[in-house]
Structure 1
Amino acid sequence: MIHSKLLDNNENNNLNFSQNLYKGACVKIKNSNKTFQVIGLNIGKEICWVREWPFACNSKKTFALEISQITLQTFCSNNSSEKLSNFKI
């Protein structure tokens, strides 16, 4: 079963969402149809670092993103999670 959480644009929901965001979570972001994985968090500054999911082992393309830019949080698919199990995040 795939679980997801949709965000509203009000501050209260964004604060609650940022408290539930975790390293390793897969997310969707504004202005993109791609899935990204959270690889780092700074809740105090409301910033996270993400990379495209599934990722290529030879790719190190990560970028910082304001947590408010996340529109959907979902679990990574089982196939992609198996690939990830061989790597440290």
Structure 2
Amino acid sequence: MEKPNGGAAYWRATLGLLTTVLVLWFVVSYGFGILLRPILDGIHLGGYPLGFWFAQQGSIYAFLVLIFWYAARMNKLDREHDVHED
């Protein structure tokens, strides 16, 4: 049974999750890889400066983690709002 205003609540939760994912992706890719690169270059990871690593590899790894986290969180939201597929 659908709750009153259930569609609006589901949409609001979905947009909130999407906003969170996009902000995290921006911080990791643009923030760590470009804006904070001079600060992070003092730390080395695998022989390379951390700022360089984030620009080349770290943002890709973070993106992959975000994909799986987003999928798991969306499944949870679908179940909470009773719009899941079985």
Q: Give the TM-score band, short-chain normalised.
A: under 0.3
TM-score normalised according to structure 2 size? 0.23
More helix by share: 2
Bigger CA radius of gyration: 2
TM-score normalised according to structure 1 size: 0.23
